[in-house]
Structures are given as C-alpha cells and as structure tokens.
Amino acid sequence: MSDDFNMSMRKFLKQVGVTSQQAIEEAVRKAEASGGSFPVKAVITIPELGLTHEVTGEITAPDAGDDAQA
C-alpha cells in the first residue's frame, strides 16, 4: 500500500483512539461509575467499500478514589 494511504489510515485511527478515550472517560465521570465493568463495541464502516468492522470488549471503571486518567 502507498505511504499516503498508510499515513491517512494511521491519522484516522489515532483520531478514533484519542477521541474515543476522551468520550469514554467523560461518560464514566458523568455516571460517577466506580469499579463497574461495561461492555463496549466500536464499529467502523466504509459504505463505499462494503466494510463494517466491529470490535467488542469490556472496560472496567476505576475504583472510587483512583485516578481515571491513569
């Protein structure tokens, strides 16, 4: 694959990672969640290519008193 393709894909995936982490941290803070586990699913779609990619997992909120940024 070309360097331009790789760079644009890496830039997009970095943006997804950073903005998703910020959104999740904010949601945990707002919910005042402590030590709970939450199922999570990320979906990336590229309709023009017929792509739907799902990643599922679990996120555990920090215990009360822990630094959520750690």
* Every domain of the chain and the residues it spans: 3-60
In the prediction, which pLDDT does 32 show? 82
pLDDT digits (tens, 9 = 90+) for 19-62: 999 999 999 888 888 788 999 999 999 999 999 999 999 999 88
Greatest extent of the chain over all pairs of C-alpha atoms, in Å: 47
CA dist., res. 68 & res. 33, Å (int): 10
CA dist., res. 24 & res. 52, Å (int): 22
In the prediction, which pLDDT does 68 show? 47
φ, ψ at 56 (rounded to 5°): -120, 155
Beta strands in the chain (DSSP E): 37-46, 51-60
44 near 12, Cβ under 8 Å?
no
